[in-house]
Amino acid sequence: MEFSSRMKNFRSAVFAMMKEKKEELLSRGRKVVDLSVGAPDMPPAPHIIEVLKREISDDKNYVYAISDLPELLDAAACWYKRRFGVELNPKTQISSLIGSQDGLAHISLTIVDPGDTVLVPDPGYPIFSAGPLLAGARIVTMPLKEEKGFLIDLDEIPSDVAAKAKFMIVSYPNNPVTAIAPPEFYRKLIDFAKEYDIIVLHDNAYCELTFDGYKAGSFLSFEGALEIGVEFNSLSKTYNMAGCRVGFALGNEEIIRNLKILKSNMDYGIFLPIQKAAIAALEGPQEYVKETALRYQKRRDILVDGLNSIGWKIRKPPATMFVWAPIPEGFSDSMEFTLFLLEKTGVAVTPGSSFGERGKRFVRIALVQPEEIIEEALALIKESNIF
């Protein structure tokens, strides 16, 4: 059999190796505490579940969805107006997505031709690169440096590269590095994009998971943003609806129009009961969203304070459901340390190298276990005497 040459760009070796190692430990009777995969462990709010239960009992909801319910797009527009002060036309400036990863995976097909240049962050969430690679794009990375607060330094992008770039992907609050961006960054970003005629794709999936009083904004709230870009948002983390696969692309009408055309040729829309549950999430009480963020903040404090007391010196992240931790001295890269940590303690984390070359000296720890399990992980690490 012969397969597409594009498949050479995709590897599952890191995650396959981690899964194999976890299964080996379990087969030996070892306990494994999994802090690797960023899958929310908390349920949606009760009122969301009740709507889903009711709607799946209606046999009329099992037809092809074909297109977004107008009520869903209206709910998304109202949420953006209420939350960010951004006015959007629900008919022309919003498209639902089967999870924001759906949009990030496919939007490249509407913008680039094979060989076109795109700019992606390093470290970066894997779909940021995988989507453009599927479209045959040439990837140029924008380094996220710790000494610069993991902000993209637009001045470091060579002018000849910027002149060729079709789009750039930006994401704050950021997965995996957990950084946030100040308003002046976005103003400079928009000026930069206009100067070089670059489309901006901004991933804002973690805008509600912020800590210590910080409140994230929206790229679209800045003057000029709607002229040059779109934002991706998701109900996965905000409302603990990860398995429901509901997200949105919002912003520039031309970009949204082309994305909708592409999607009309690729899928039949989101299952109607899930669309109605999403409406309940967006329009219903929002106290649960705040409680979710506070729960993650408490887990962050337990984990980071505990690791610092052991000797693993880590800064507290200002946002997201992750901790971005430097690996100890004496290890060559994050994969080596991740496997060592798993073998010695049974605690599974994600090697930073799986997010790009600049992640090789870090690991990502997901705050996806209850507080008592995190305490257990801390005890296992302390007992191992690694630090």
Distance of alpha carbon 67 from alpha carbon 300, whole angstroms: 39
Instruction: Identify the pLDDT of residue 37.
Output: 85
Q: For the chain, which ranges sit under pLDDT 50?
A: none
Instruction: Identify the pLDDT of residue 18.
Output: 78
Instruction: Identify the pLDDT of residue 386.
Output: 87
Residues 227 and 273 in one domain: yes
Nearest Cα to 369, choosing from 296, 310, 320?
Answer: 296
Q: Are 347 and 35 in contact (CB under 8 A)?
A: yes
Residue 47 phi, psi dihedral angles, 5° rounding: -70, -25
| 48 assigned to some structural domain | no
Residues 244 and 297 in one domain: no
Residues 11 and 113 in one domain: no
Distance of alpha carbon 337 from alpha carbon 327, whole angstroms: 7
| 53 assigned to some structural domain | no
Instruction: Identify the pLDDT of residue 20.
Output: 84
Considering the entire predicted model, what is its pTM? 0.95
Q: How many domains does the chain have?
A: 2
Residue after which a domain boundary falls, among 249, 283, 317: 283
Residue after which a domain boundary falls, among 228, 261, 283: 283
Residues 223 and 305 in one domain: no
Residues 167 and 209 in one domain: yes
Cross-strand pairs, 297: none
Q: Please report, to the nearest 10 degrees, the dihedral formed by the alpha carbons of residues 233, 239, 243, 249 taken in order.
A: -10
Residue after which a domain boundary falls, among 283, 312, 344: 283
| 325 assigned to some structural domain | yes
Q: What is the DSSP string of 241-287?
A: -GGG--EEEEE-HHHHHHHHHHHHTT-----HHHHHHHHHHHHS--H
Instruction: Identify the pLDDT of residue 7.
Output: 79
- Per-residue tokens: 97: 């997505």
Q: What is the extent of the structural domain holding 316?
A: 5-43+288-384
Residue 291 phi, psi dihedral angles, 5° rounding: -65, -40
Q: How does strand 247-251 pair with strand 94-97?
A: antiparallel
Helix 371-384 / helix 334-345 crossing angle, nearest 10 deg = 100
C-alpha 90 chain-centroid distance: 23
